[in-house]
Amino acid sequence: MSDARRDGEPAGAVANLVVALVIVGIVGIVGIGGAGMAGSWALGLGSAAAPSAGTWPFLVSTAIAVLGVALALLSRRTNDAEGLSSSCLPVLGAVAGMAGFAALVGVIGFEIPGALLVFAWLRFLGRESWRLSVLGAVGIVAVFYLIFVGALNVPIPHLF
């Protein structure tokens, strides 16, 4: 097999092990699950009768860490991990968009970052028309605003 991996060809057990190590943590560096558990713990866990802000993030982060350990233990038995190729670029774009949204929402509210994120996903990931992308972005943000800010009075950062 050549060094250049073809699209759709499995990446193999080594790729599974690398992903598992990133999830669980690599030699003293806290992994995704561990970082989530630490952040959730800082928010407070509460109790089963009175959960706190960190309860669900802690449970999800714990599940991520446990699944990462399971993936590491089973990495030699499975070889169906998809290899990295140019088809991964839209996924990286989506993740970058979410990171941008998360970075901006606390600074300028959710309306502008939300509209930009929805527009980018519709136009560039979904390959929708410019018109549908603009209308969809404005419409979706307006509906979320009406539901969460107007009707439910959720304390999220917003402009209006």
Angle, alpha carbons 28-95-97 (nearest 5°): 130
Tokens of 50: 């009175």
Tens digit of each residue's pLDDT (9 = 90 or more) over 125-150: 999 999 999 999 999 999 999 999 89
Rounded to an integer, the average pLDDT of 119-123 is 96
pLDDT in tens, 100-111: 999 999 899 999
Q: How many CB atoms lie within 10 A of CB 148?
A: 15
Residue-level pLDDT at 114: 95
